[in-house]
Amino acid sequence: MSMILEVEKPLLELENKIKELKEVNLTGRVDLSSEIRLLERKAEQLKKSIYENLSAWDRVLIARHSVRPGTLDYIQALFTDFLELHGDRLYADDPAIVGGLARFEGRSCVVVGHQKGKGTKDNLARNFGMPNPEGFRKAGRLMSLAHRFRLPIFTFIDTPGAYPGIEAEERGQYEAIASNIALMTELGSPIVTLVIGEGGSGGALGIAVGDRVLILENSVYSVISPEGCATILWRDASKAEQAASWLGLTSDKLLRLGLVDEVLSEPLGGAHRETENVFATVRGALRRHLGELLLSTPAELVTSRYAKYRRMGVVLEQALTP
């Protein structure tokens, strides 16, 4: 197993111990099977107690982990005939957002998602999954294509945020995000969005306006990064851990506030373990939600999407007193 969190350390040690004992046991010189069973039971309990008490910050670390499945992993596992399409027809192709045509359960669709890199070199090429305006514009182009041909749209969310750079600003980062958000509220295609890792603020939302917004249990979705929040509130980025619990960015809190429609459970320890199980869970959820959405006409989808977002807000008729 690969360790992500400090709290996993004792579990990792125990699992190594079990492995050693099993090797000794295989030699047949001593019978250790009852000890192994005991330790395995203990490991199972430890696993539960660790992963059922993850802090918001633990989940941020899991969501960001480099071995967590990314958009291309999901495309490969759940879609067939993927044809990656490139470029925004205006300026460039952005490798931080991938997209194209594919089949889901035999049905043609458009799939779009943020893509982080695997390893340093790939990460540099993909700008750590932080899109430039051309990434959002490419996504917008592909989603418009889907609309015209009534293809369903799947989007996968996994970004630290939109790239903060000089050229990104020159080319209108804010405009690119705004246009996509507005566009997605008007598309007649069913849109299913899944937050697979990090949902970093506007850079995530730029491709995340869906009829259904799903989130994996250990994914996070936040208005600002915990580091950014800590810097603004306490002028100290190292208080990110505190900010993470403050921001309400975990899947359970998002569900409670009605900001996501369903939380998809992960294997204990995260989606990078037992990935086949994760893919099966995601496939089932995508199939179910798409099936429901396909019962609506394009006009009905637009109307109900408007109503869905129209409800999002907490507004009181009286001022709160401190």
Partner 1 sequence: MAGLFDKFRVNRPKVDQSRSDETQRAELPSDLWIKCSDCGNAMYRKVFLDNSKVCDKCGFHHKLTAHERLELLADPGSFEEWDKGLFSGNPLGIEGEYLEKLVSDRKKTGLEDAVLSGKIELTGIPVGIAIMDFHFRGGSMGSVVGEKITRMLERSGDLRFPALVVTSSGGARMQEGMLSLMQMVRTSAAVRRLNDLSVPYFCLLTDPTTAGVAASFAALGDVIVAEPRAIIGFSGARVIEQTIRQKLPPGFQTSEFYQKHGFIDMVVPRSELRATMARLIGMFAQPVLESPA
**Residue 60 contacts residue 243 (beta carbons within 8 Å):** no
Q: Output the DSSP codes for 238-255.
A: GGHHHHHHHTT-BHHHHH
Nearest one of 224, 239, 312, 285 to 57, comparing CA atoms: 239
Which of 142, 157, 221, 293 lies at the binding interface for partner 1 (CB under 8 A)?
Answer: 221
Nearer to partner 1, 53 or 321 (CB): 321
Burial class (CB in 10 A: 0-12, 13-18, 19+), 140: buried
Classify 22 as helix, strand or coil. helix
313 counts as binding partner 1 under rule CB under 8 A: yes
- The enclosing H or E element of 20 equals helix 9-26
Nearer to partner 1, 76 or 303 (CB): 303
Q: Which DSSP state fits 273?
A: S
162 counts as binding partner 1 under rule CB under 8 A: yes
Of the ranges 54-62, 89-97, 140-148, 216-224, which one interacts with partner 1 (CB under 8 A)?
Answer: 216-224
Nearer to partner 1, 26 or 315 (CB): 315
Of the ranges 18-26, 218-226, 264-272, 290-298, which one interacts with partner 1 (CB under 8 A)?
Answer: 218-226
209 counts as binding partner 1 under rule CB under 8 A: yes
**Residue 111 contacts residue 99 (beta carbons within 8 Å):** yes
Nearer to partner 1, 77 or 255 (CB): 255
Neighbours of 208 (CB within 10 A): 23
* CA 280, 284, 285, 286 torsion-angle sign: positive
Q: How far is the CB of 279 from partner 1 (least distance, A)?
A: 26
Nearer to partner 1, 230 or 282 (CB): 230
Residue whose pair of structure tokens reads 């250990």 in the numeric block? 218
CA distance 17 to 24: 11
235 counts as binding partner 1 under rule CB under 8 A: no
Give the strand pairing for 97-104 and 107-114: antiparallel
> Of 178-207, which residues contact partner 1 (CB under 8 A)?
178-179, 181-182, 185-186, 201-202, 205-206
Q: How far is the CB of 232 from partner 1 (least distance, A)?
A: 7
251-270 footprint of partner 1 as x/- string (CB under 8 A): --xx--x-x-----------
Which of 27, 120, 297, 318 lies at the binding interface for partner 1 (CB under 8 A)?
Answer: 318
Neighbours of 190 (CB within 10 A): 26
| Residues near partner 1 (CB under 8 A) | 162-166, 168-175, 177-179, 181-182, 185-186, 201-202, 205-206, 209, 221-224, 228-229, 232-233, 246-249, 253-254, 257, 259, 305-306, 309-310, 312-322
